[in-house]
Amino acid sequence: MRVQSVLIDGNLLWDVLLERYSGMESMEFVWKQISLGHIKGYVTDIAIEDIWRDACRLTQDRKVADKLVCLLLNVLECRPVERTTMRKASALNLRFSAAVQVLCGLDWQVDGVLTSNPLDFCLARDEEISVFTPGWLVVNHLKRSLEDARTLAEAPKAETDDEVSRDLVVVSNRSLSNTSAWRLEQLDVSCGDEEPNATVVMQTPAGNILRAAATGNGPIDAAYKAIKKFFDECGVPDHRLVHTDTQATTADSAVSVTILLQVRDSLFPGRGFHTDTVRAYVYAYIDAIEYMRQCNVR
């Protein structure tokens, strides 16, 4: 299913107002798509009223609270919750605020409810409403683009530009290539008692050997920052990580890491495999950058 409209949980809207995004910046990315009109966003008047009251308590200034609410209403469509909806919500086996959103979502015929707390809606399946998290939406709301990626990549440039103007483009879900113009020569990660740090030594497409190092909140974060620092110094187009997914079948099997890098209005997936999760992560990053190069992104 391609997601075109969502009802947003009030807790997520506070994350937007406070710019308190998740580690992979999924909500920031989703909010941008809503702001651009790629996804239609709805909110209940109850959620807006709650946000206004909380903002008044937080800032002790009604004008500031009014301004924060206006920022949301400039992007979202606010709809009232009917009394009949409130009565029906009280009879559902859900937390009351979640039940209200489920029923409103059904009445307004949105594609689903967007929340950071999907467990609040775990009993909503009988109501036939979908529940999304920002991370899920980043990967799946353009499923059609993923499935049609090869057609899109082969389309004439004029058609591609038109598609970009109408929607965010997920550029590829292609098979991995066995060769890459970028090559990882060395990866060292150290944790110990201090802040984790990572060092990468890479070979560029021109054959140069370069080194980059960075610290992070953990070994994967340190490796991510080091590899990004390397690519930034090599003049790779400005990009950021918007999603990552890690899977393994057994404790000693190779780890599969899938990532999405964003460049303006395009997403570039990459995949990496290794028994070492950090190294699999770096391989996935290199794979995404390599595909960007193949697409002549500038």
**Residue 176 pLDDT:** 39
Sign of CA dihedral 132, 138, 141, 144: negative
**Residue 150 pLDDT:** 42
Nearest residue to 113 (alpha-carbon basis) of 201, 261, 122, 185:
122
**Residue 55 pLDDT:** 92
DSSP 99-152: HHHHHHHHHHT-SEEE-S-GGGGTTGGGGT--EE-HHHHHHHTTHHHHHTHHHH
* Spatial separation of the C-alpha atoms in residues 215 and 267, rounded to whole Å: 26
* Spatial separation of the C-alpha atoms in residues 141 and 136, rounded to whole Å: 8
The answer to whether residues 136 and 258 touch, using CB atoms and an 8 Å cutoff, is no
**Residue 140 pLDDT:** 60
* Spatial separation of the C-alpha atoms in residues 211 and 150, rounded to whole Å: 34
Q: What is the DSSP letter of 47?
A: H
- Structural domains in the chain plus CATH codes: 5-141 (3.40.50.1010), 174-294 (3.30.160.270)
**Residue 163 pLDDT:** 39
- Count CA atoms within 13 Å of residue 222 on its CB side: 21
Q: What is the pLDDT along the chain (298 residues), one digit of tens a residue?
A: 567 899 999 888 988 888 776 544 578 778 888 998 888 999 999 999 999 999 999 989 999 999 999 999 999 999 999 999 999 999 888 889 889 999 999 999 999 899 877 777 766 655 578 888 787 777 665 444 444 444 444 455 444 444 333 344 444 444 434 445 788 889 999 887 678 899 999 988 888 889 999 998 889 999 999 999 999 998 899 998 888 888 876 666 678 888 888 887 788 888 888 888 899 999 999 988 988 887 877 7
